[in-house]
């Protein structure tokens, strides 16, 4: 089985063997076995903490490349014309350590009826959708968690 160990940059070029379509939970797993759209099983063994995004390409030590695609997932999207309302929804979702995708005038989170009820209680109206989910990276995603004293 081929094992893919690194994310490639735009400068890397090679023929893609196939694409792994993964939900967000699997795109944040650094070590796993996946099946490509060709039916081939491959391994992913990235550095811990690596999150894969839609359109990423991974390489192995022999020059093979696979693509990563974000799978559509059931999500709730809440829209707001007023930034203050959107910030309020974001605050309360973030306070629950929920993955949140932020777009112009909207927030998106994995569908959950309890969270939907909370958002309704805050004056929002969640819309159920099935779309690729690309939440914000964590605050410490770029370089790890550091405490300077």
Instruction: Give the number of domains in the chain.
Output: 2
Same domain assignment for residues 57 and 98 = no
pLDDT value, residue 51: 93
**Structural domain includes residue 110:** yes
Task: Sort strands 106-110 and 41-45 into parallel, antiparallel or unpaired.
Answer: unpaired
Same domain assignment for residues 50 and 18 = yes
Q: What is the per-residue pLDDT across 65-105, written as a single tens digit (0 to 9) for each?
A: 999 999 999 999 999 999 999 999 999 999 999 999 999 99
Same domain assignment for residues 39 and 24 = yes
Domain span at 79: 72-132
DSSP string, 71-115: PEEEEEEEE-SSHHHHHHHHHHHHTTT---EEETTEEEEE--HHH
Of 60, 69, 51, 52, the closest CA to residue 12 belongs to: 60
What global pTM score does this model have? 0.83
**Structural domain includes residue 97:** yes
């Amino acid at each position: 089985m081929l094992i893919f160990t690194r994310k490639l940059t735009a400068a890397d070029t090679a023929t893609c063997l196939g694409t792994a379509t993964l939900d967000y939970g699997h795109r944040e797993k650094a070590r796993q076995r996946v099946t490509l759209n060709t039916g081939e099983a491959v391994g992913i063994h990235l550095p811990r903490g690596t999150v894969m995004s839609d359109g990423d390409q991974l390489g192995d030590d022999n020059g093979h490349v696979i693509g990563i695609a974000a799978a559509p997932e059931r999500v709730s999207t809440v829209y707001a014309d007023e930034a203050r309302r959107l910030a309020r929804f974001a605050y309360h979702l973030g306070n629950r350590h929920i993955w949140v995708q932020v777009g112009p005038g909207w927030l998106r989170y994995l569908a959950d009826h309890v969270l939907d009820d909370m958002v309704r209680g805050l004056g929002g109206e969640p819309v159920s959708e099935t779309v690729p989910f690309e939440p914000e990276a964590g605050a410490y995603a770029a370089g790890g968690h550091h405490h300077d004293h």
